[in-house]
Chains A and B, each alone.
Chain A
Amino acid sequence: MNVCHEGARLQDYLDRELSPEAAREMARHVAGCARCSAELLLYQRVFEALDRLPLAEPRPALSERILARVLPSRVRRRWVVAAGWSYAGVFAALVAAAAAWFSTPGGRAAVALFTGELSRRMVQALLFAINALAFAVASLADGWGFMSMLGQRLAPFVRALSSLLSHPTIETALGLAAAACVALLWWMRPRGRGPHKGARHVGVLGI
């Protein structure tokens, strides 16, 4: 075979883009053709040089820089900070505008009128609050009367209940129940460490 291959075909051969049959044919040809063999060597050097190309190492701060822009929590935080600064900026602009307006004679007159009206309204509001407080106190005093009346109505029931509790049998039963409760609590008290070292006893009351 005396047909010499072009560079593109040699590249396909090195790139493993040729069919197995075409690749075998190319290998046979290159073995017997000095020109294609030299050409193939040159392309092999090109391929080796390109395959050696290393990955570049970014500066360590790059990761954090990227994450600051993409992590949902940090993006939200940036929005909150931006909103905060916007609010502060708008507020400062409003204060500056108000100060500028107040420095004009018309502005000062308007502010004086406004503050006069405001103080009048505040005095009115204070008087209303005092009145309301006095009314509440008077109503509460009347409420004590209601409580006294309620006590008189409930007195017979209270008397019946106390006579029932003072019956000797019930009194004894209640005393025994109280003693049983105390004994139970004493039995469930926190005790010293047993054979399981490190395990902490916890009673029903969490003690």
Chain B
Amino acid sequence: MESADDPEVVRRCLAGDERAHRQLVERYQRQVYSVALRMVRQVQDAEDLTQETFVRMFRALDRYDPTRPFPAWLFTITSRLCIDHLRRRRLKAISLFQREPGSHEERMIDPEDPGLRPDELAVRGEEEERSRELIDTLPPHYRIVVMLRHQQDLSYEEIATALGLPLGTVKARIHRARALLRGRLESERP
């Protein structure tokens, strides 16, 4: 998904070119918004997080390394903001992390995720809706890796960099998330 001229657009942004700013926002706002919406599942919060992602991205633009893929760098900011947001939202009610039985890995629990309101659910094709429902059943720490892998087409290495996690953990989470979904599909089979 990376465009060849991202570093050039970034260079123009750093030179103060406002058209380049606009170009960068228009190019990536849907991707950022999609990840944010699937993570927080509320339109208003997703918009706030998208805006904050771009504000922080432009502030830190001079620290962007042009040899790295731009989307991976951008999603580093998005994912951190989403995780912080979920952590703040859930800390009010209950501890965020829980140890899985037989595992040393702590995982983020999702006890009071309200999901999208009916009026926020866009009317889309049945299959797309089914995909959304499936991914919404995953806990947030699985949801983010699956989104970055399948929707944003990031490699395992890019996801590991974006989330600041070891490569093995990223792979394990993606495999575990797919295994969970496989179990759900199997249980639905007549």
Contact = CB atoms under 8 A, between A and B. Distances in A.
A69 B22 CA distance: 11
B18 A55 contact: no
Given A54-B128, A56-B37, A70 B30 contact: no
A54 B133 CA distance: 12
B128 A62 contact: no
Interface band, chain A? 20 to 34
Interface in A1-41: 7-8, 11, 39
B54 A69 contact: yes
B63 interface: no
A72 B30 contact: no
B130 interface: yes
Given A42-B182, A58-B47, A62-B51, A73 B18 contact: yes
A46 B182 contact: yes
A43 B177 CA distance: 11
B65 interface: no
B33 A58 contact: yes
A160 interface: no
Contacts of A56: 30, 33-34, 37-38, 46, 122
A11 to B, nearest CB: 5
Interface band, chain B? 35 or more
B146 interface: yes
B100 interface: no
Interface in B59-82: none
Q: Is the interface of B mostly helix, strand, loop or mixed?
A: helix
Contact of B22 (A52, A53, A58, A71): A71
A142 interface: no
B29 A49 contact: no
Contacts of A69: 51, 54-55
A59 interface: yes
A70 B144 CA distance: 26
A89 B131 CA distance: 53
B182 A7 contact: yes
A197 B58 CA distance: 54
B30 A58 contact: yes
Contacts of B131: 49-50, 52-54
Contacts of A54: 34, 124, 128, 131-132
Contacts of B165: none
A46 B186 CA distance: 10
B91 interface: no
Nearest to B24: A70
Contact of A66 (B25, B31, B134, B175): B25
Contacts of B124: 54
Interface of B: 16, 18, 21-22, 25-26, 29-31, 33-34, 37-38, 43, 46-47, 50-51, 54-55, 58, 122, 124, 127-128, 130-132, 134-135, 146-147, 149-151, 174-175, 178-179, 181-182, 185-186
7 contacts: A42-B185, A47-B150, A49-B134, A53-B131, A54-B131, A70-B55, A72-B21
Given A7-B175, A53-B150, A62-B47, 14 more contacts: A11-B178, A42-B182, A43-B178, A47-B150, A49-B131, A49-B134, A50-B134, A50-B149, A53-B132, A54-B128, A55-B31, A58-B33, A70-B55, A71-B18
